[in-house]
Amino acid sequence: MARPPLVELIDIEKHFGGVRAVDRVSLDLWPGEVVGVLGHNGAGKSCLMRILSGAMMPSAGEIRVNGTSTVFDSPNDARDAGIETIYQTLALADHLDAAANLFLGRELKTRFGNLDDARMLAEARTVLARLNPNFKNLRDPVSSLSGGQRQVIAIARAIYFDTKILIMDEPTAALGPSETAMVADLIRQLRDEGIGIFLVSHDMHDVFELCDRVVVMNKGRLVGAHAIHEVSKDDVLSLIVKGELPADWSARNLAEAAQ
């Protein structure tokens, strides 16, 4: 294939003292692909995603974006490379309003270097309305918004800018059913636009619904990487819990084809 993957993680390691939180993990992501990242709490998936989003430096290993080796010193470096992250905690500044949060760290400015609040508000109104038409109270501090609205701000912040790779850490954990469906639709839409998505999730249903591929981490190691139609939910559970596939495993799609 002529084009390199959007991003390649090669032999990434992260140590905390003697603990190997991430142990020689290699992973890639292609345009228009949704990759589910699964594992127990503490399996290292959050750590790996933080390394990719520039919030954490790897102890060893290489990150290649579009085939070029890069080093992310800060979240801004990763964002400049088109990698956006929606954190499980949403990472919102509670006392600021929706527009200020949307543009936090990337404020729009007037010619004189002042904050262009009018333009930020207008832009925020447009992008938020696309995600949730009922979003009206943009001037309120985000601490006063509902969980769904806060989630929408976090998502809007990730897709407003020129995004190529999107990391979503438990994006539906705090949402109700209709909002979850909205996020699922959005993921499909973004995938169709050619954005590559890492979906960190515990929800097996979401993963099988949305992902093209699953990777499973266990104790810092990558124990499985499969196309979604190769495996069943039980297979994935086995990988998560035991770190290996069931002994009598054969690819699900091949088995079905043989019958």
- The residues that touch another protein, with contacts defined as CB under 8 A, are 53, 55, 74-76, 79, 85, 87, 89-96, 100-101, 104-107, 109, 113-115, 139-141, 143-146, 157
The nearer residue to another protein, 73 or 192, going by C-beta atoms, is: 73
Q: How much is the CA Rg of the chain, to the nearest whole Å?
A: 19
CB 236 within 8 A of CB 204: yes
* Nearest one of 151, 161, 241, 165 to 202, comparing CA atoms: 241
The nearer residue to another protein, 53 or 180, going by C-beta atoms, is: 53
The nearer residue to another protein, 109 or 205, going by C-beta atoms, is: 109
The nearer residue to another protein, 22 or 83, going by C-beta atoms, is: 83
CB of 94 to another protein, least distance (A): 5
- Amino acid occupying residue 149: Q
CB of 237 to another protein, least distance (A): 31
Question: What are the C-alpha distances in Å from 161 to residues 155, 157, 169?
Answer: 11, 7, 18
Buried b / exposed e along 220-246 (16+ C-beta atoms within 10 A): bbbbbebebebbeeebbebbbeebebe
Q: For the chain, how many residues are written?
A: 259
The nearer residue to another protein, 13 or 77, going by C-beta atoms, is: 77
CB of 257 to another protein, least distance (A): 45
CB of 198 to another protein, least distance (A): 16
CB of 29 to another protein, least distance (A): 20
